[in-house]
Amino acid sequence: MSAFHEDCFFETLKLYELEKVIDKLTNNDVDCLETFCSLTESDFEEFGLNTGQRKKCLSAALRIKDKGLTPTSSTVDLKKAVHAEKTTS
């Protein structure tokens, strides 16, 4: 995976305030948005995430998919999408 895609993945997790789960995800070879968005609650539980963390991850994955954000989306696209989401909530 390119450094850009990895940076985009980490930036996305930070935008959704998921910094605390980055190590658990990367320790389980989850290092891109495509893989992250394909995970289930059972997967997150297997990785050792608590209930709140699992819910936040599932919610973020759903929002990422709904916005059509992909591993090739730029950080600017991600920030705009998350900002728009937060200002309309």
CA distance readout (Å), 73 to 5, 15, 23, 56, 67: 9, 14, 22, 21, 11
pLDDT of residue 9: 82
Nearest to 42 by CA among 31, 32, 28: 28
Contact between residue 31 and residue 6 where contact means Cβ atoms under 8 Å apart: yes
pLDDT digits (tens, 9 = 90+) for 11-69: 888 888 999 999 999 999 998 888 999 999 999 999 999 999 999 999 999 988 887 76
The residue among 4 and 66 whose pLDDT is bigger is 66
For residues 83 and 30, give the distance between their C-alpha atoms in angstroms, rounded to a whole number: 25
pLDDT of residue 2: 45
The residue among 77 and 51 whose pLDDT is bigger is 51
Domain locations along the chain? 3-81
pLDDT of residue 38: 94
**Model confidence, pTM:** 0.73
What is the fold, at CATH topology level, of the domain defined by 3-81?
DNA polymerase; domain 1 (1.10.150)
Structure tokens at 3: 């450094």
